[in-house]
Structures are given as C-alpha cells and as structure tokens.
Amino acid sequence: MKPPAGICFCLANQTLAENVSLAAKVRKHVDLLELRVDALLPEEAGRAGELVRRVDLPVILSVRRRKEGGAFPGPEEERLRLLERLAPQGFAFVDLEHDLEAHELDRRIREAGAGVIRSLHDPAGVPSDLAERMRTLARSATEFPRATVTPRGGADLLRLLEALEALARLPKALFGAGDCGFPTRILGGKLGSRFCTVEDPETADLLYRCRKIGAATRVYGVIGNPVMHSLSPVIHNRGFAALDLDAVYLPFLVDDLEPFFRAAEKLDIRGLSVTVPHKVDVMSWLAKRNDPVSAIGACNTIHRLDAGGWAGWNTDGAGFLAPLLAAFGGKLPRGLGATVIGAGGAARAVVHALAGNGARVLVLNRTLDRAHALAEGLRAAGVSLHVGPLDEAGVKLMDGFNDLIVQTTRVGMAPHADSDPLPGYSFSGRETAYDLVMTQFLKRAGAAGCRTIVGSRMLLAQAFEQFRIFTGIPYPQEAAQGIFSPAAED
C-alpha cells in the first residue's frame, strides 16, 4: 500500500461517538486519522471498526502500550488479540511496534489489504542510534517506518535533526514530541517526513500552511524560553500568506544557544526574532550588527548573511516609540520624565529610545546591580540615566520621573497575575502607563484614569520592521487585522 501522506490527526477520546464528532470538525484540515484504541473505554474498544465506516478518511489503527506512552490496561496477549480482531475491519494502516515478533496478526493485516506502519516511540528522549534504528525498523518493502521521540532541549533537537538528515532518502515519518520537538512536526515536508501528526490541525493547516511546506520553504522563527505563547508566528505567517511567500515562521524553545545554532544550520533558518532570555547572549553569534544593537547591548532580530554568519538588529526601540509618539502627537514633550521598570534586554531598548528623544530616565529594578550595569552599558553610547531599587526607596525617586511609566518585566503575568510589578506606587491619573507585556500594572493604571498604551502595539510595530528585514518587503497591514482582541488594543 502507498505510504500515508499529509497531516495526520490522532483521535484519543474515550468514546467512538466523540471521536467521530471530532473527526468531522477537523475533516477539511487533515488527510489521515489515527484512532488510539487504547484510549477508548473497554466496552467501546472492540467496536473500533465502526469509526472507519463513519469517516471518509484513511484511518491508522493504533493500540499503544503503556511503555510507549499509551494507555492499554491489559496484558500483551490481550492487546494482540484485540489488534487481530480489529485489523480486518477497514483500517488503512495498522501500527505495530518495532519489537513485535512475527505473529498471526501479520497474516490478518495482509489479508485485509491494510498497510503496516512499524513504529518506535521514545517518551523519554532521543536515542543516540536513532538513524540506525530507523533504517532497520521496517521489516519489508511493504512496511512504513515511523518514530516519535522526545527532545528535552537543544542538544536532543540537534540529534533528531542529524538523524533526519542521515535518513533523507528513506520514506518515513519521524518527528519530536513536546515543545522542543514542535518544529519537526510542522516542517515534515521540508525534513522528509511523509506525514506528520499535529495537535491542532486548523492551526497547522491555515497558520503554518503545513501542506505547502517543501524543501524550498524558507524557515524563520522566534527563539526564547518560554516561547510557545508568542503571537509572533501569527503576525509573520499571516504576512507570508498574504504575499503568497513560500515561507513559514515557528516558535523555537531554546535552552542553549550553541546546539540551537547548529540546529539552525540543519534547518537552513533564514531569520529569527529573539526574546528573553537570549537578547544579550545572542550577540556573541553575530558577524555584523547595526548601531542600536551596539548601543543598547541587546539584539532582538537576526538574519542570515548571504556570505554566511548572522547579522543582528534591534527593532525594539523603533517598535516601542511608534505607539508612544502617536500618543503624544508625533513628538515627546520637552523634559519628559520617565520611569522604566526592569533592566533586561527590552528595558535597554526602551531607555535608549527615550533618551534619544530627549526624555529624562529613571530605571528601577529589583536587583540594583543590574540597573547599574544597564546604565554603565548605555553610558558609552552617550545615554545618561538615573537608577534605583524597585522598592519603597525607589518609588520615592519617581517624583519628577513619572510623566511616563514603562513596565518591561514579566512580574504580574500568569500564573502569578496577583504580583504587582510596581508595588507601593499609587497612580495619580496624570501618568501615561505603557506596559510591554500586559500585566495587572496596566489595569491598575487604567482604573486610576491614566492614559495607557498596551504592549501589543509595540509588538506589531517591531514585528513589521522584522518582516521587512527578513523579506525585503513591507508588511501587508491588512494581514494584522484582528490579531489582538479589542481589549488588548485599547
């Protein structure tokens, strides 16, 4: 039987009715279904073949053992008997584990005209001999090899990509589970997998355009930790789609830059957005940098040079200023006093932008040494500022620096939404409050009558500039409509 292809979606609800309903919802976004019979209620498992007759897509039969991350509760003999009974009931493919010995089941599958997917599942990591094991996984030309492994960090992802590279000519499906493995599930068409399994078929199909990804697709993304919550993939992929560019933008969970940049070579990544905690450390990887990067000491955008290596930009400053200048009629008031909460990479860009537009700046940070380090780093670029601790003493320093208050930290974000990034400060209502990450700080300021600016506006402005750097084309503004809820754009 011809190997399966396209987007595969796994049905793992407890009842057949629920699975049939779910299959109908995702139908237009998938090409293949996998029914996890081990997830069904015991009284429903024996009737699993009924689902095949109620959906109009090929279905993989899978009864997964616990040691491979499955849920089948009984002994192995009982599982094999169930597979034997179900194999002839119209399934297009039957998933059999790599260590399953020749069995009556093989004959039943052949007689039913179904294909065999011979699989390897490693929920604990990425085997060092993955490529070798994949080559010997299929026992005949009629079997199709599939493996799902679990990268735990950048080194594991690199090992997985090296295996995919070594297996370039082998028909297969090989991808990583979890957040670290996410890129391999989306980039199946570029990495040589015949099909890939996705958790959200609509997003995989419409946002990432999985079905159109091929060897020539240009790869971009955002690196950070955490990063899976980022809206940057929505912004950039909408832009690519509007311009019909063969490109895709992904989130990359990065714990260690060294193995990641080696992985980036395997993926032929063309450009990256950089978010916390890598905006400073990524600078050591740059062959070229623009003036703001050198002055700020942080980089949020890198792009591959034609001659090799990476060039770095910082679009945070321009992105920060765009909505702020709009709020003040195109120019900051003379002598504006501003307090910046935080001393990370984003704060550096904010301080540099404010000082460059004539503002007097105070930086408050919980770790005072970091605030002093920020001031020292910017002094070489001609930026002078005041610093203080983020406590009662620091709040007292804000007198004269509170025309504008900019919140750059993640304090106050879920799951710690009750935390206050600016404790001890009472808004008078005359301040302009600007929150880069949308915490309780902004809600408190709005309740006091302050003018507020949400970080979503900065995110869009800096992303538009990144898009231009990546593609050489202005971002199609209509593609950004509706990305944020009305509340997030107020």
Catalytic annotation, residues: 279
Amino acid at 105: L
Cα 36 to Cα 13, 114, 122: the distances in Å are 8, 17, 17
- Name the residue among 408, 388, 407 with its Cα closest to residue 398: 388
Q: How many other C-beta atoms are found inside a 10 Å radius of the C-beta of residue 211?
A: 15
Separation CA 275–CA 282 (nearest Å): 10
Cα 448 to Cα 403, 433, 443, 487: the distances in Å are 14, 11, 9, 17
- Which ranges in 435-479 belong to alpha helices (H)? 440-447, 455-471
Only one residue has tokens 């670290």, namely 180
- Which ranges in 30-88 belong to alpha helices (H)? 42-45, 49-54, 76-86
The CA-based diameter of the chain, rounded to the nearest angstrom, is 85
86 CB-near residues (< 8 Å, 6+ apart): 37, 46, 48, 49, 61, 63
31 CB-near residues (< 8 Å, 6+ apart): 4, 5, 6, 7, 8, 57, 195, 211
153 secondary structure, DSSP code: S
Separation CA 432–CA 409 (nearest Å): 17
